[in-house]
Chains A and B, each alone.
Chain A
């Protein structure tokens, strides 16, 4: 009986104290005909050693590839100290800090996180985290609609250069409440938003515009112009950004004349491993006048009986356990452990380190882009500045190219042909500080060799039925 400490004698004494004769008797209130007869699908138990053997063989199947995929999840170096400390039992096996006096470690850490993240976004306040970047965007949109009491509009401009899965998540979550999402196409030449296109979308009033930086295609948007444009329409600017990039790029609170009103995004680049897409955490920051509409846990600094500094969960009157059906959100969990890792990561990097990582990732991307576009038939799709990701068009099916690259232990990027079929056979490629000049050359050589292969007829046959990707 794994993890159950009871000896036969314990059980005997405990049953006597309860005044029953068997454990079975404790379930007497459950109607007998409802009781489970058999669960054949559940295998026999394993010891830790047996489990280790099984899991090592499974992990082995997925390892050893050089990764040039980004698309919302980024490989960065994670200092050993990050998970050594975040993995301490006192952080990992505590729960939501309901008993503040017994949770000062988690609470002070969250307060420090809120300070760091708000400052990285150049906004006034931050909550203690959301589930991930996509749900943080959905909550930001719900916030904007609640705040937009003036013209009662529930139309949100959600550009197609925002992560396609973020847009799907937003749709799942906010359309339950009758919010209208308006797709804004990006400029085919620049891969960015244009004011001309936006103007065409405003025959009716809007509640907010979502501004990505960088956008899903890696491109840098003209954030000042966009922010000023949406403010002139008396609507809110919601920034969805890569937090790593904000050490280098102008941060949401600094956009245009008044700054973006809400900033959100995926915290994963800051110390969280790729781990098949989660657990990550979403961050959500805003101007202080929007505080009461902020969803999720928020930590505040206060004092104890003796006037000494301490920390508590605050503004709980917004939350589900108090307001029930009238809460700002049903969320109760945040992603505390991931936030712990990120806070340790940001502390180790400091403002200088974070900027250096953003810079070198950008420079590596430029280096790779120059080398890739020198290959015959490979072209850069959009002109203009990008951060650490860019789009190339290849002369063969992307799916074929990716499968061929995988044979040389290389993950070549994200296949855009399904999310953006009008772009043709396009690949979104990412580089971070983790790649050396040799890694970059290896990738260039591998792609050149795949593309020079004469046999074009194989493009089709390579697409076996089970080789499906996401979209």
Chain B
């Protein structure tokens, strides 16, 4: 592993070509407002910087270098052409407060993306401003609250969340001031309808659902769930994390959902960037349109302009300093244009084909599917509880050993309902050969666990570091480097 960049630092060294010339060192700013020490930034040459960070990049797995079947994260190919076009000078140097007459290029793209998202979700209104899925969830739940309040219905204090839901769902509901009621899942992976009927009532503000669920299966009772919740006066929130599974096949608006977010960094192939930036636009049915977060792009004749709280007084407000992750919105727009209508339908088809193929191969090799009687959606779960018992290896061990085979590990130990599980999402952009090689790797690892179990238990062996001590990291917090 590389040294910390601070260890390369030499006092007085710098990247000379980057430093402005002829700067007077005297200033009119009063001295008590000035800093009189130097922050701990490295003093290094430009080449040292380039070499250090290039080396660091090589210690990462990424879509560009490895198969990355991280369940619920939709790690598909991020087209290079789109990235290059998003970096055009006219987009990069455009100030968020430029006048609308100087912003028509960007505004037209954003407007058209709003229209495309309405079409694929079956919703009536879209706001692109949320900067990530979790912020889209926040916007959605805040709109549910605003809707009830606007009707003077102040008794709805609960949000229902299935126990299989992403952690962000209950966290969001709590952040919006709601109490969270968990709904159990039945043995086939659907929401337990009897339990739902028991908890739904005049306190129910809404329910948050992913469909297909995080269990990798389509919620078959969705229409009945919608009618139970709607009859009780609640609204339905669609967590768009798994939209890739149904793009162009079935639309949340048609299933009865009132509000949803779309993860542009999943379904619309914008780069994940090592954990962000994301994009989490929200789409809503007719009755929630007045509450959408601002700003939104509108069009009059051939001119695009921003709608704000002035025109939309019931809005839940702003969610970002400017208008959200514009660069991500541009990339998603370009991806939608490249796919077109036909391409968009193909996304769900081939994502589902790949998942079901990989599942079939793994089942044939003796792995246990968590929901063997169900058709997989774009992802599926295998449980290693038998292997854990017979061979004393865990899902974590298998995940770490996969890294030695040059595959990123699937999502582990989520959903929490399934013991020793791996949630596997191959996405539509992977070829059959990659899926075959991944299945072979898993088969080999189980063989290894029988013959040389320690090899698996102490994996990885071939990366820049061996297995890391997370307990020590949490107990003895070392979050910043200190010069001795």
Contacts and interface: CB of A to CB of B under 8 A. Distances in A.
Interface stretch (B77-85, B197-205, B227-235, B440-448): B77-85
Given A18-B357, A303-B472, A118 B134 contact: no
Contacts of A36: 122, 248-251, 254
Contacts of A92: 62, 64, 78, 83, 271, 273-274
Contacts of A280: 321-322
A199 interface: no
Interface string B313-333: 000111111111111101000
A471 B308 contact: yes
Given A2-B339, A36-B251, A81-B46, A248 B35 contact: yes
A335 B176 CA distance: 23
A131 interface: yes
Contacts of B399: 99
Nearest to A48: B81
B434 to A, nearest CB: 9
Nearest to B134: A330
A102 B409 CA distance: 9
B155 interface: no
Interface string B337-368: 11111111010111011101100110010000
Contacts of A311: 468
Contacts of B81: 48, 51-52
A460 interface: no
Nearest to A315: B474
Contacts of A200: none
A27 B15 contact: no
Nearest to A352: B14
A302 B432 contact: no
B275 A336 contact: yes
Contact of A351 (B15, B39, B167, B429): B39
Interface string B1-33: 110111000000111011110011101111011
A386 B235 CA distance: 50
A108 interface: yes
B39 A43 contact: no
A323 B98 CA distance: 42
A310 B1 contact: yes
A119 B41 contact: yes
Interface residues of B, number: 209
Interface string A80-124: 010111011111111111111111111011011011101110101
A362 B27 contact: yes
Interface in B83-112: 83, 85, 87-106, 108-109
Interface string B253-278: 01100000000010001011111111
B465 A333 contact: no
B459 to A, nearest CB: 9
B320 A169 contact: yes
B94 A274 contact: yes
B477 A315 contact: yes
A73 B97 contact: yes
Contact of B306 (A52, A249, A468): A468
B58 A90 contact: yes
Given A42-B341, A45-B341, A466-B303, A109 B53 contact: yes
B414 interface: yes
A165 B277 contact: no
Contact of B105 (A34, A60, A468): A60
Interface in A119-156: 119-120, 122, 124-126, 128-129, 131-135
Interface residues of A, number: 208
Contact of B65 (A20, A89, A349): A89
A411 interface: yes
Interface string A56-87: 11111111110101011101010101011101
A309 B70 contact: no
A348 B323 contact: no
Contacts of A242: none
Given A17-B360, A312-B473, A325 B171 contact: yes
Contacts of A471: 308, 310
B195 interface: no
A205 B249 CA distance: 56
B96 A43 contact: no
B341 A44 contact: yes
A344 B51 CA distance: 11
Given A94-B272, A315-B474, A330-B171, A48 B338 contact: yes
B20 A356 contact: yes
B134 A331 contact: yes
Interface string B401-414: 00100001101001
Interface in B280-314: 293, 295, 300-301, 303, 305-306, 308-310
B57 A91 contact: yes
B438 to A, nearest CB: 14
Contacts of B346: 1, 4
Interface stretch (A6-14, A231-239, A439-447, A448-456): A6-14
B428 interface: yes
Interface in A166-224: 166, 168-169, 171-173, 176-178, 220, 222-224
B274 A347 contact: no
Given A52-B81, A246-B39, A126 B429 contact: no
Contacts of B275: 95-97, 106, 128, 297, 333-334, 336
A219 B269 CA distance: 42
B163 to A, nearest CB: 10
A417 interface: no
Contact of A44 (B118, B305, B340): B340
5 contacts: A13-B432, A48-B338, A115-B480, A354-B39, A469-B97
Interface pairs A-B: 10 shortest CB-CB: A277-B322, A45-B340, A89-B64, A337-B273, A59-B90, A277-B96, A172-B317, A279-B277, A336-B274, A63-B90
Given A95-B70, A126-B480, 7 more contacts: A23-B352, A60-B90, A118-B480, A119-B39, A274-B96, A305-B458, A411-B102
